[in-house]
Amino acid sequence: MRRTLGIAALVLALPLAAAAETKTITLPPDHPYGDLKPGPGVEVAQRACRSCHSTDYIVMQPRGDAKQWEAVVTKMIKVFGASISDEDAKAVVRYLSTVYGR
Amino acid sequence: MTRSHRRDFLRAVGGLGTFAVSAGLLWRAPRASAQQGDPILAGRPLVRYPEKTDLILLTARPTQLETPMSYFDGAITPNEAFFVRYHTFPVPTSVDLGTWRLRVSGLVDRPLELSLDDLKSKFAKAAVTAVTQCSGNSRGRFAPRVLGGEWGDGAMGNAEWVGARLRDILATAGVRQGAVQATFEGLDKPAFPSVPHFVKSLDIRRIVEDPDVIVAYQMNGRELPMLNGFPARLVVPGWYATYWVKNLSEISVIDHVFEKFWMKPAYRIPDTPCGCVEPGTAPKSTVPITRMTVRSFIGAPPGGARVVAGRSVTLKGIAFDGGYGVREVQVSDDEGVTWRRAQLGPDLGRYSFREWSAVWTPAAGEHTLMVRALNAIGESQGYEPVWNPAGYLRNIVERITVQAG
């Protein structure tokens, strides 16, 4: 009986030994500090931007006019391949240049 | 640095002795933290990520965390306090060493698939203490402001790295005639195929000539935290962190200069002697960013601290450059009219943070403390910030304010 328990303990220990070869971490969710401020178009902006990055990336940027934000949205589409319709892109630029405008 | 900078530096120091160095630490942290008084860091939360201590959150996705300035009163940055910067999301969160391999392919005679044990057992062990600093460290301080990761000054750290020399690995693989560069890629793979993979390149010549370029599997005597590149990362001493590819998994030897997104147009500086242009203007041509500029910081007391008037305080901090080594550090408490030489700490090598300290006895009132460093080839720091559209290379003379009362 004692021997059986010993073997059982050994068998149980094996996956643990293997597990030591794997390192895994769990990342926390997006932080509320990065939440977009309310405003017309905020839902579109959240949907368009959050699929690739957290919106703290937006709230930390210097405020800017429509030209700045249009360049940013265009870069996200052309360089980073963000899948955003023309209509949504316009709405996002409008939202950003209003709520995070100069 | 220009010649005149260097002359000013030398003239200011002439005849001044070294500060005494034996006072206790006599300051109180400011009531509001330095972070709250900082225009860029104000409002950013301290967060605790796996294998990390409380760090300043820049962005959650991709993971970007900044080291608080209080860690820069000593030469070695603890692993748990080391900054984190990823470019795309998701970032690697799990590595199975049973299957992880560092693959070496391309223009080589013998393609390799190295396990971590292979890296440790088949190659001579090399160690280097070296600073890694994000190209955009302090980007948030640029005026006019520029878009990007709006870092304060904590996207930098210094560690003792141990690993295998990259040139030994490439020699084992056998680099073929016609090889020009090697490319480096980690486990971070963007969720969407349209997003450019983070791939960097180095000249084969740089790798072969420099025994300090290593594939590091140890950081300050321990395995790397996942978010700093477990199980192995590239260490390119003297150069900005953009080359220090984390969670390294692929090396490919190629017959041309690699110019995909993260080498071009990203991570480039104006092709001018200072790497800068008139603020607000665009450069005519650009080159990849490489070697770090000279910088120095006051780590203690913290900016905004209250100290006791008439009692000596030990100022402490770090200085570094792009690999020539720090020759001298100076501090000023009078807006740079006079500079006094600080005492340098142990020399941990030319790529490392150099600790410095200076004893200072304040009169009652508000004081501005400044620090600047001079490296072994006469480069220093200026009062006027460099400016470029990407927010790179910042190395202005730093200052903090303290209250003595």
> pLDDT, tens digit, for every residue of A56-102?
999 999 999 999 999 999 999 999 999 999 999 999 999 999 999 98
Of the partner residues A21, A31, A61, the one whose CB lies closest to the CB of residue B47: A31
Model pTM score = 0.91
Q: Is the ipTM of this complex over 0.95?
A: no
For position B221, what pLDDT does the model report?
98
**B109, HSE (Cβ side, Cα atoms, 13 Å):** 9
Cβ-Cβ contacts under 8 Å, A72 against chain B: 147
CA distance B93 to B187: 9
Of the partner residues A22, A23, A53, the one whose CB lies closest to the CB of residue B62: A53
- CB-based contact (8 Å) between B105 and chain A? no
- CB-based contact (8 Å) between B196 and chain A? yes
> pLDDT, tens digit, for every residue of B319-338?
999 999 999 999 999 999 99
Q: Which residues of A touch B (CB under 8 A)?
A: 18, 21-31, 33-34, 52-54, 56-57, 60-62, 64, 68, 72, 79-83
**Which domains are delineated in chain B?**
3-31+291-404 (2.60.40.650), 80-266 (3.90.420.10)
Is the Cβ pair B94, A23 closer than 8 Å? yes
Q: In chain A, which residue's Cα lies nearest the Cα of B59? A: A56
The B residues from 200 to 229 touching A (CB cutoff 8 Å) are 223, 226-227
For position B191, what pLDDT does the model report?
87
In the DSSP assignment, the letter for residue B190 is: -
What percentage of chain B has pLDDT greater than the value 90? 89
CA distance A65 to A15: 57
Nearest to B293 by CA among B129, B70, B138, B83: B138
What percentage of chain A has pLDDT greater than the value 70? 80
Confidence of residue A20 (pLDDT cuts 50, 70, 90): low
Helices A86-99 and A66-78 pack at an angle, to 10 degrees, of: 140
For position B149, what pLDDT does the model report?
98
In this structure, what are the phi and psi dihedrals at residue A94, rounded to the nearest 5 degrees?
Answer: -60, -45
Q: Which residue has the tokens 């939360």?
A: B45
A88: left (phi over 0), alpha (psi -120 to 50) or beta: alpha
CA distance B91 to B84: 11
Confidence of residue A15 (pLDDT cuts 50, 70, 90): very low
Residue, of B103 and A21, whose pLDDT is higher: B103
Q: How far apart are the first and last CA of chain B?
A: 38
For position B92, what pLDDT does the model report?
98
| Tokens, residue B147 | 């878009």
In the DSSP assignment, the letter for residue B275 is: S
Neighbours of B78 (CB within 10 A): 15
Nearest to B274 by CA among B155, B133, B394: B394
Amino acid present at B191: A
Q: Which residue has the tokens 């605790």?
A: B48
Neighbours of B194 (CB within 10 A): 14
> CB-based contacts of B254: which residues, under 8 Å, 6+ apart?
B106, B107, B179, B180, B181, B182, B183, B201
Is the Cβ pair A68, B147 closer than 8 Å? yes
Q: How many angstroms separate the CA of residue B39 from the nearest CA in chain A?
A: 11
Helix, strand, coil tally for chain B in percent (to 5):
10, 35, 55
For position B37, what pLDDT does the model report?
80
For position B9, what pLDDT does the model report?
60
Q: Where are the beta strands (DSSP E) in B67-123?
A: 84-85, 94-96, 102-106, 112-114
Is the Cβ pair B59, A60 closer than 8 Å? yes
In the DSSP assignment, the letter for residue B301 is: S
Is the Cβ pair A23, B226 closer than 8 Å? yes
- CB-based contact (8 Å) between B280 and chain A? no
Residue, of B13 and B343, whose pLDDT is higher: B343
> pLDDT, tens digit, for every residue of A62-72?
999 999 999 99
pLDDT greater than 60 at residue B165: yes
**Which domains are delineated in chain A?**
28-99 (1.10.760.10)
Q: In chain B, which residue's Cα lies nearest the Cα of A32? A: B45
